[in-house]
Structure 1
């Protein structure tokens, strides 16, 4: 079922994340996670005729929500949709002749639409083909991963991306099961791994497994690293980075880039022992949704917003 823009995805921390960009009406901004268009719509409402917004999404379903941007004609003139993975941010900005941007917003993770679409295989609530590709046009599926990866590779991805301590036992069970028949659907996969989870933690652990597969299929961590490094180079002094994360893996990368200027968090110091980083924190503590937002939008419960500003005295 393809949802409308209004139900495709409820934007998380909408006001807080867009306020954090400190928008200049004539500035150039990027929303690298268009989804249902909620954040993009809010950014556009704050731009004048001289401003422009570039919004990225690799999912063809999200592209159907462009009409939801609506509003005055000048808003459409101020808007460019880029159907691409945000890891290619630098290339696309070069293509459009954009040397510097004034702000970038990213609402990471998976949209409500992906979890609720019964055909995509993102959720264990439905029996569906194990696909999990954000971009349905290319790349390997989750079924490809489960049926083709070596045991050690499976164990590593379950441990690193799913943070599951029994990853080796699960990987061994997958190998044994696929010798009997291919693992092609979400139900096939659940039948293999359910014995490893206690009943009271089954849903939480299953969610971690599905997260691990999704991250691997879409190369999410590599894409995030590349996007953040591109954003660091594109942001003009005083430009803002506003990023919403949902799990520790992506949050650690964002925190490292802001703190040290690189995804690994390798700190460099100047002659006086001061940490050299291109950013300064705008919010010293992460911003989290209000209790009211969490109750109205369960997806927001694990959300963390970090806002940083490009330093004007950046050292090279």
Structure 2
């Protein structure tokens, strides 16, 4: 079941008001989008963007069932294209934008794309089939030094060089096709399942250009929000949070979260996967 992370906190920091327009740049299964639509009627709209066409179809269906369909603009696309998407759909007067940078439960549990080392799935790891490169291609064809770079910089894995060396040695004999095969290679080197989590995070980030995309989109989103509007960003690992924290500091905006907001004990009981979430929010100066 999909559980939106830090939902009440996001709604509070975005300061949802009737008839105001908002953008959800990572719609997922619609948790934040639908919650905003429940508060910004009767004329307020939400532009929901997601790279996965399955998610966009699901959000449209849910919004229609809840009577919000005419106020939802759902777009299958990459949030780094937010400027052209806003232009194409003439979505103006934006009071707030939210990013939930986490991996959805559906991607982990049901997508079959190899996002988790606990399953036996093909090493895809793309959020969208239009992405091009897969984790399988990186693992089986990229130079050893490039794999070392990914594991060190995107997974902060101390044994990156040894893991990459074993990957290259094994793929010469047989291609590494499945998530559990890669996990076993990592475990043989490190004797740690946590290392597998870091390796899979690193590959996912590389496949989907996650860090570069976050760095690119934050100033674009900030420019789209009207003066006095709000930006809320939920990150899930230190690499993302560093980018968000630096942007907030450099923006000279009114930062609403002096320290990042983390899930409550109650939320963690309901949704243990939210444990790494950190929410930061700001208000754009009125100039």
Bin the TM-score by the shorter chain.
over 0.9
Structure 2: tracts of 5 or more residues without a match: none
Maintained 8 Å contact 2:126/2:134? yes
Of Structure 1 and Structure 2, the greater helix share is in 2
Equivalent runs, 1:122-141 vs 2, <5 Å? 122-141=115-134
Query: 1:28-39 to 2 correspondence within 5 Å?
Result: 28-39=21-32
> Which residue number in structure 2 is paired with residue 143 of structure 1?
136
TM-score for both structures, normalised by structure 1: 0.87
Deviations 1:261-314 (A, max 9, x none): 3xxxxxxxxxxxxxxx2x11112221111111112111111111111110123x
Cα deviation, 1:241-265, whole Å, max 9, x if unaligned, reads 111111001111111111013xxxx
Deviates more, 1:112-121 or 1:143-152: 112-121
Please, what is the CA RMSD of the aligned residues? 1.4
In structure 2, the CA distance between the partners of 1:45 and 1:71, relative to structure 1 (3 Å rule), is farther
* Partner residue of 1:69 out of 50, 63, 70: 63
Instruction: Output the CA distance in 1 between the equivalents of 2:81 and 2:21.
Output: 17
The CA distance in 1 between the partners of 2:265 and 2:180, in whole Å, is 34
Corresponding residue of 2:212: 222
Matches within 5 A, 1:13-162: 13-66=6-59, 67-70=61-64, 73=67, 75-117=68-110, 119-162=112-155
Residue 33 of structure 1: SS of its match in structure 2? coil
Corresponding residue SS for 1:82: strand
Is 1:237 aligned to 2:224, yes or no? no
Q: Deviations over 1:95-114 (max 9, x none)?
A: 12235421001111200111
TM-score, with structure 2 as normaliser: 0.95
Query: Which of the residues 254, 268, 287 maps onto 2:261?
Result: 287
- Alpha carbons 2:83, 2:220 under 8 Å: kept: yes
Q: Is the 8 A contact 2:187 2:193 kept in 1?
A: no
- 1:72: Cα distance to partner? 5.6
Cα offset for 1:76?
1.5
> How many aligned residue pairs are there?
286
Answer whether contact 2:255 2:282 (CA < 8 A) is retained: yes
The offset of 1:71, in angstroms, is: 5.3
> Who is 1:253 aligned against?
243
Single out whichever of 114-123 and 30-39 deviates more from structure 2: 114-123
User: Alpha-carbon deviation of 1:46?
Assistant: 1.0
Runs (5+) with no aligned partner, structure 1: 1-6, 262-276
